[in-house]
Amino acid sequence: MASVNDPIAADRLTVVPANEASWDDITAVFGTRDYAGRCRCQRFKVAGWVWRDTTQDQRSEMLRTQTRCDDPDATSTSGLVAYVEDEPAGWVAVEPRTAYPKLRTTRVPWKDRDEDKGDEDVWAVTCFVVRKGYRGRGLTYPLALATVDFARQRGAKALEAYPMITRPGLEITWGELHVGARQVFQDAGFDEITHPTTRRVVMRIDFDHDLGTS
């Protein structure tokens, strides 16, 4: 019998665009108390300081609007939701990079790079949330992998991420690690393109050679 701490088997997992999920399910993933519940995936969405320039209610409404949840026919959304069997368990934010205004003014992703920040064909993975009770079971790995086909099928020419380097014995708080860990993106096929700080890397997949294929 599987333990509650065992990795989640692939046959128990489904990942869907967030517009196909309900608001109740998305709220269940984010919770209300810790960093994810307070931020509501708005850190890179708010041009200023997220805690000063928005309220909790505003951030919740922003997430609801951005996901277009409860609307399976919506033509766009802001992320993916993972279900373990029928229970909502995880979230990953993935959109065109231009959907994140704060990325334009954050120095780290652009260090040692000369690139058009306004290129709408480059997408970005900016945030993971795993629901309490499902953490520590490897759920970010299939979520990261799901972003690749999601972005490619919607015409992205490249997909980026800005994860942290984790080391055994060195604790990284849940809030810091919301961007994901480097090994998660390595397993999903991303390549490291820059190493702007001691603990942060920029990783990327370019789709130019296989656009038009599944």
pLDDT digits (tens, 9 = 90+) for 12-32: 999 999 999 999 999 999 998
How high does pLDDT run on average in the chain? 90
What pLDDT sits at residue 211?
43
What pLDDT sits at residue 141?
96
Structure tokens that stand for 160 in this block? 């980026």
Query: Cα separation of 204 and 39, whole Å?
Result: 25
Q: Which of 51, 44, 108 is nearest to 79 (CA)?
A: 44
Q: Which of 178, 182, 212 is nearest to 197 (CA)?
A: 182
Query: Cα separation of 90 and 25, whole Å?
Result: 10
What pLDDT sits at residue 169?
57
Asked whether residue 2 carries a pLDDT value surpassing 90, the answer given is no
Does CATH place domain 12-210 in 3.30.300.30? no
pLDDT digits (tens, 9 = 90+) for 42-92: 999 998 889 899 999 999 999 999 999 999 999 999 999 999 999 999 999
What pLDDT sits at residue 4?
64
Domain map (residue ranges) of the chain: 12-210
Band the pLDDT of 212: cuts 50, 70, 90: very low
What pLDDT sits at residue 173?
56
Percent of the chain exceeding pLDDT 70 equals 91
Mean local confidence (pLDDT), 99-127: 92
Mean local confidence (pLDDT), 101-106: 90
Asked whether residue 113 carries a pLDDT value surpassing 70, the answer given is yes
What pLDDT sits at residue 58?
96
**pTM, to two decimals:** 0.91
